[in-house]
Structures are given as structure tokens and as C-alpha cells.
Amino acid sequence: MADTAPSLKLTFEGAQKLLTAAIAKANELNVPQCICIVDNGGHLLTMGRMDGAFAMSIETAFRKAKTAASYGIPTGGITPALEIKLALGTDGQRINLLGGLPVIVDGNVIGGIGVGSGTGEQDREVAAAALGAIAGAKRFTF
């Protein structure tokens, strides 16, 4: 087994593309959103709060992005039995609300996007549309 492995990285430019695509979809839906993009370690790369979006949704969007990047799965699908334990064990940093998606390219989780301020379904729709901005990113359909 090798001691090192090559990896992919979500760049700031890529994060900006995700943000721009998410904003376009939110505008199309006429739903102002808070949108956070993180790297695979859950560190913020970029974010935006559209005019009219709830300020408190910045926190939930950030936590959705971090959760999706950490687990490599969409938020909102974690079993209820683990949901409380997950929140307690991470001091509230992991969240199970709809609207967080991992950014996966060539099987590698390179980041996450979290969206908040609409309904859970709207948040998830905006996040899913944003993934189309990254070449080769795994797409999610719901």
C-alpha cells in the first residue's frame, strides 16, 4: 500500500462558480438564499447572502455544507436515531436539514455546498443546480 495518494482540490475559482450558479437558480426560483461553499475539510471558501435572505440562515447553510463535505452524502437523509447524537457529539456543527450536498469529482469528495433560507426542498434544489457548474461533478436528483 502506498504512503501517499494524489487528490483533487476545490479551488476558490471553482467555489465561485458554484456560488454564481446557486445564485442564478435562487433568482430563477425567486427565493433569496444564504449559500456557503467549503473545501473537503469543511473550511469556508466563499459565501453569499442574497438580499432578503434570513441572516440566521448563514449558520445553517455553513453547517449543511460542512456536514455534506464531511460525510460525502446529502444532508437531510441521516437517520433520526443518529441525528441528535451527531449534533451533540459535534457541538451542533453537524446538521441534518435539507440543502447540503457534497461536491464529488471522480469519486473524490472535494467540498460541500450548503443553502438555507427557503424551504428544505428549495434549498436542496439550489444546491443541486449549482453542481452543474463544476465539470465532472456528481449530480444529485431528488
Q: Which three cell numbers stand for residue 11?
A: 479551488
Q: Are 61 and 131 in contact (CB under 8 A)?
A: no
Please write the tens of the pLDDT for every residue from 76-105.
998 888 888 888 898 988 999 999 999 999
Q: Where does the chain have alpha helices with state H? A: 12-29, 57-71, 80-89, 120-130
- Residue 62 has phi, psi (to 5 degrees) of -65, -45
Does pTM top 0.85 for this prediction? yes
The domains located in the chain, with CATH, are 12-133 (3.30.450.150)
Q: Are 12 and 124 in contact (CB under 8 A)?
A: no
Please write the tens of the pLDDT for every residue from 12-70.
999 999 999 999 999 999 999 999 999 999 999 999 999 999 999 999 999 999 999 99
Distance CA 82, CA 88 (A): 10
Q: In the beta sheet, which residues pair with residue 108?
A: 105
- Residue 47 has phi, psi (to 5 degrees) of -160, 165
**Average pLDDT for 108-118:** 98
Q: Is the pLDDT of residue 135 over 90?
A: yes
Q: Are 46 and 15 in contact (CB under 8 A)?
A: yes
